[in-house]
Structure 1
């Protein structure tokens, strides 16, 4: 399997949509009774949290890349005396 970068925003969105799906499935199967409007805050809240998480994650990756670029341009980091 090829390695890929970790994307916490997509993970967060997937978790909240999975929770919404499980809630809907449990309601449809008769395991519990959930009002129809409960799914809306779960999905929208999860998508908003995923957006914030994605922006924080991308800013962290961008900061690391900039620091690495500066470190590479300055001669490879620290030198031992």
Structure 2
């Protein structure tokens, strides 16, 4: 199996999108009441945080490659 580079930004985005899905699955299952607009801060906040994490990860990878290479 080919190895691939770890991309933490995609992990963070996936976790936030999965959390949004879980929140609305709980609403659909009748466990709690969730307003429709609750998805906006979850998705937007998760995507913004994923962008920051991806930028930091890329900066760390570039800096580490320059020192060792």
Could you state the TM-score of these two structures normalised by the residue count of structure 1? 0.80
Deviation at 1:59, TM superposition (A): 0.4
Question: Per-residue CA shift, 1:26-71, capped at 9, x if unaligned?
Answer: 11121110111111100000000000000000000011111122xx
Give the RMSD, CA atoms, in angstroms.
Answer: 0.9
Matching of residue 41 in structure 1 with residue 53 in structure 2: no
Structure 2: 5+ residue runs without aligned partners? none
* Higher gyration radius (CA): 1
- Structure whose residues are more often helix by fraction: 2
Point out 4+ residue stretches in structure 1 off by more than 6 angstroms. none
Deviation at 1:2, TM superposition (A): 2.5
**In the alignment, which residue of structure 2 is the partner of 1:57?**
57
Could you state the TM-score of these two structures normalised by the residue count of structure 2? 0.93
Matching of residue 13 in structure 1 with residue 7 in structure 2: no
